[in-house]
Structure 1
Amino acid sequence: MLEHETAPPKGVKMLVRDFIEDSLYNPHYGYFPKQVNIFDTQGISLEFQKLRDSTEFQEEVAKRYATYGADKHDGPGRQLWHTPTELFKPYYGQTLAQCLVSEYLLKYFPYEDFVIYEIGAGNGSLAESILDYLKASYPDVYERTRYNIIEISGNLAKLQKKRLAKHHGCVKVTHQSIFHWKTREPSPCFFIAMEVIDNFAHDVIRYDLRTMKPYQGVVTIDEQGDFDMIFSPVTDPLVASFLRIRDRLGHSPPIRTLLRRSDTLRKIYTSLPFAPNLSAEEYIPTRLLSLLKSLRTHFPRHRLLLSDFSSLPDTIPGVNAPVVQTRFRNTTVPCSTLMVRQGYFDIFFPTDFERLRDMYEYILSQPHAKLIGGPSPLTTSSSPLSLGAGFFDSYQQTSNRRHPVDGVTSASGLPVGERKSSVFTHAEFMETYADLSKTTLRNGENPLLDFYKNVKFLF
């Protein structure tokens, strides 16, 4: 319903994740369709070997920013993003390409095509860098490459098509939200999400400190456009699903252990003068859970490469809370509340990568029928093989293997298990896959390693 609104609605109430999603992605007034510009080096890469040190590197980046001009009006200024893809172009994209192609050559070449999906591809720079690298360094792999972009922004989808179609006929751009995706990809594939999940909508949870019952946050907007947030018992299926999975994984809610375990202590605590009856707001990544379920259902043989912020400064109050900010008169202005005018503010979250990895592996380990409500008569499932997969106890008990994809066998006839994903710091990932000589400065510093300390990878 909100997608069809042409102006921010009044006299309504909605879940917090719907409010965030509307603020960021509404096609008529959302932050991304209307405010954001992605910093682009316009095909001119920085010459790292000629730069003296990191100070000169930052000065050079500032010069590139200055070419976009200053804000000239009293409303929100130009929302200009920079990403490692652009700052370290083409070497950042080459690093990701090397990571993916190494895995592809090890597992699938020459029997399967090199199938890549990317969500939130921005202006197409990352795809361009990856494909240029494959074309030059791995021509045999490039001939078997199929690069698919799933893009929610109509403007960016047009830009991506225009930019990539000239040199790479293997690219297909689909203007669609990943949350509306319905097509099943049966082939092995690689799924890329770079600097995307920080803008995924979250819900807000608070716990009744007497009963430990969870309550979901609901944003209310009155007829004058004023905001408020109320809390009610959890009824949303996605919120309930997240809380169940968290409980099964042993991830405790952000409440002190003694309070959580002792009814008596909670009763005493809540009886104190001015004591709150609800816990602090906790922001839970429900849309991220939607993505993981979609990957399991529609991309059953995928390998995920994901990177984003693991921590953030200047967040609003709350556990796992976001940064809410805008740009005004050439200055970035952080806010102290989530409830701000839709479309004028960026809202982005940190990610607990260790918890994400646990949730991701749990979702992938679930039988397909459990996630979609039952088997389909059209699936090519090998039932006897699946039923007998537990015969070999040593295979069943291997802790670093996922459950096999139903119907997929190896040459020996046994189910194929995939090794579990790992979490890397930004520097660890770059040291593993990047050609660091390309981004080393004259004094030996390397901004590709030294910057983005608050970023991690999941692969």
Structure 2
Amino acid sequence: MLVRNFIEDALYNPYYGYFSKQATILTAPGEENEGFDFNEFKDSAHFESAVASRYMECGNVTETEGPGRQIWHTPTELFKPWYGQAIAQCLVSEYLLKYFPYEDFKIYELGAGNGTLALNILDYLRVQFPEVYDRTLYTIIEISAPLARIQRERLRRAGHTKRTVNVHHRSIFSWTKTERAPCYVLATEVVDNFAHDVVRYDVRTLEPFQGEVAVDDAGEFIPYYTRITDPLISSFLSLRRRLRHQPTLPWYLRSSAFRRIYASLPFAPNLSPPEYIPTRMLSFLRVLQLYFPLHRLLLTDFSSLPDAISGANAPVVQTSIRGTMVPCQTLFVRQGYFDILFPTAFEPLRDMYEYILEQPAGIVADADDLDHSRMSPLASSSSPLSLGMQFFSPSNRRPPHDGISSASGLAVGERKSSVYSHAEFMGTYADLGKTQLRNGENPMLDFYKNVQVLF
């Protein structure tokens, strides 16, 4: 199978997938809408010690000798309810400016975990903006059946009825319902687990080859490479050329002279080091274009990760053994016991996202993508859909789809998305006094320096 199919099977298989059976999300202490009392911690070391103690309370992880129950935390859980309230403040500020009271406040959250972010947002709106809460329609799209059940029960227990919130147990990639009203799409620490494909390039011609994996007679996973035949891989490579994004190649493969010298060396490999490309991210952007034409995306995730396996844009493959997180050196591990997470290149993602949304609905790929995929990745695109010199012009804004404006008269999508650091975003929207420690440190700003936000 293709490498992305192997990753999806390992993470999401309903019978043995990592998120179906092994993964457990750390919860902060206290009641539903409470968490750590940050003002009581002396410094960040004191806070980190409390987090480590909470891990032990939640997992009892030392009982397992081998890979077993996997516990991990998110900023939503670590900083609840203040993190969720910052997200809510960001969204409601834009909603009040653009759409209230003419449109409902529609929010779609992907992969809601324990439901903490949804709970914090809805509770905040109910108390601080009751008139907005009455117009709120919150939809969760959750691929994990156990987590979907937890989300429903938790939100109902908090008094949020079906009139306000609904949970759909399905993958975003199988979504088929069109939302024609303005809406907001939340993806917080979701896309790092989107499956990637692997490509390697012929060291002489730079022709790309797609990665696949087979199983030998001993049950071992064997990766191998073939010419590009997968439409999604070829479409991604074609789009990347159109955007003039260069592949991540080692320096000795960036010129024809160096490639000839390298290829002539004894025992030199005939393919470049692997490059992991976010093909499922492209699928996600197409879903947004097709089914959420008037959306605004808020996406936050890791821009870099330590302990990754070898390769460009390579993932971290890790598992917990006796309470210690252990990184692995290969992607091809036993399905279900290992987390596989990728960094996100936010600036290229922003360019790809904006470009796809500017295309007419239903236009997602060129007919000649497979032919273009065999070109050198360093070649310029000859596609008639090439961007031209005006792509980054301030005057080039996403127009309302089919001439549609919101009921308030403001054009939908009137400004492009921007990329922010985690600290920049939280410094703008969070109540930082709630997460400040006694010595003046603020983990809401100081932690997650490798996280960025697209909004």
- TM value normalised by structure 2: 0.90
The equivalences for 1:324-363 within 5 A come to: 324-363=317-356
Q: Sort the Cα spacing of 1:109 and 1:220 in 2 relative to 1 into closer, same or farther, 3 A.
A: same
1:199 aligned to which of 189, 193, 197: 193
- 5+ residue gaps, structure 1, are 1-13, 374-393
The alpha-carbon deviation at position 62 of structure 1 amounts to: 1.8
2:438 aligned to which of 436, 442, 452: 442
Tell me if structure 1 keeps the 8 A contact 2:99–2:407. no
Amino acid at match of 1:320: N
* Residue in 1 that maps onto 2:423: 427
The alpha-carbon deviation at position 20 of structure 1 amounts to: 0.3
* Residue in 2 that maps onto 1:20: 7
Distance, in Å, in 2 between the alignment partners of 1:40 and 1:254 is 38
Amino acid at match of 2:346: F
The equivalences for 1:222-233 within 5 A come to: 222-233=216-227
* Residue in 2 that maps onto 1:6: none
Give 3-state SS (helix, strand or coil) of 1:206's partner: strand
Aligned residues: 426
Amino acid at match of 1:158: R
Give 3-state SS (helix, strand or coil) of 1:220's partner: strand
Amino acid at match of 1:419: R
1:124 aligned to which of 105, 115, 130: 115
The alpha-carbon deviation at position 261 of structure 1 amounts to: 4.4
The alpha-carbon deviation at position 407 of structure 1 amounts to: 3.5
Amino acid at match of 2:149: K
Distance, in Å, in 1 between the alignment partners of 2:310 and 2:181 is 44
Q: Note the alpha carbon deviations across 1:373-406, whole angstroms, 9 max, x for none.
A: 9xxxxxxxxxxxxxxxxxxxx9996445114311
Tell me if structure 1 keeps the 8 A contact 2:43–2:438. yes
Identical-pair percentage: 63
1:63 aligned to which of 36, 47, 53: 53
Tell me if structure 2 keeps the 8 A contact 1:123–1:156. yes
* Residue in 2 that maps onto 1:312: 305
The alpha-carbon deviation at position 329 of structure 1 amounts to: 1.8
Give 3-state SS (helix, strand or coil) of 1:312's partner: coil
Tell me if structure 1 keeps the 8 A contact 2:213–2:224. yes
Tell me if structure 2 keeps the 8 A contact 1:212–1:260. no
Tell me if structure 2 keeps the 8 A contact 1:183–1:298. yes
Q: Note the alpha carbon deviations across 1:329-380, whole angstroms, 9 max, x for none.
A: 222111000011111111001111111111111111111131399xxxxxxx
2:404 aligned to which of 377, 383, 408: 408
Amino acid at match of 2:51: V
- 5+ residue gaps, structure 2, are 367-389
Distance, in Å, in 1 between the alignment partners of 2:451 and 2:335 is 27
Q: Sort the Cα spacing of 1:153 and 1:396 in 2 relative to 1 into closer, same or farther, 3 A.
A: closer
Distance, in Å, in 2 between the alignment partners of 1:448 and 1:398 is 33
* Residue in 1 that maps onto 2:156: 165
The equivalences for 1:90-101 within 5 A come to: 90-101=81-92
* Residue in 1 that maps onto 2:16: 29
* Residue in 2 that maps onto 1:451: 447
Tell me if structure 1 keeps the 8 A contact 2:182–2:406. no
Q: Sort the Cα spacing of 1:327 and 1:317 in 2 relative to 1 into closer, same or farther, 3 A.
A: same
Distance, in Å, in 1 between the alignment partners of 2:412 and 2:17 is 43
Q: Sort the Cα spacing of 1:52 and 1:241 in 2 relative to 1 into closer, same or farther, 3 A.
A: same
Q: Sort the Cα spacing of 1:372 and 1:278 in 2 relative to 1 into closer, same or farther, 3 A.
A: closer
Amino acid at match of 2:192: D
The equivalences for 1:44-443 within 5 A come to: 44-68=34-58, 69-166=60-157, 167-169=159-161, 170-256=164-250, 259-262=253-256, 264-371=257-364, 398-409=394-405, 416-443=412-439
CA RMSD of aligned residues (A): 2.2
Q: Sort the Cα spacing of 1:118 and 1:48 in 2 relative to 1 into closer, same or farther, 3 A.
A: same
- TM value normalised by structure 1: 0.89
Distance, in Å, in 1 between the alignment partners of 2:4 and 2:253 is 28
